[in-house]
Amino acid sequence: MVVNTCRDQLRSQNRRSALNKDYVETNELISAAERDKKRQVEWLYAALECLSPTLRETAILVLAEDLSHREAGEILGIKESTVSWRMHELRKEFKVLAGDDGGDHQ
């Protein structure tokens, strides 16, 4: 009976140890993901500052405000196709900017 109790205690400690290890690993992954997301957001804000005002305002409406091209066009007083063209230009600009610093932010 004493031996079984000791074995049960050892198994319980092993499970707790494994759970603690998993918890630490998960927290490290979450922290790394949060740091990466923060770095990406910082890069995006810096990239937006490099854009022309027309591309910047279009990007904010479509990407940040999650408006459709039609809705953004209505707000900006331009055609939906112009918004689409601006978003195409925006993607090209972001590719260039990402290429300038290694391209690991997209």
What gap in Å lies between CA 86 and CA 62, rounded to an integer?
10
Q: Where are the domains of the chain?
A: 1-36, 50-106
| Nearest C-alpha neighbor of 28 from the set 20, 39, 40 | 20
The pTM for the full model equals 0.60
What are 32-76's pLDDT values in tens digits? 888 888 888 888 888 889 899 999 999 999 988 999 999 999 999
Domain spanning 50-106, CATH class: mainly alpha
Q: Coil, helix or strand for 93?
A: helix
pLDDT of residue 100: 65
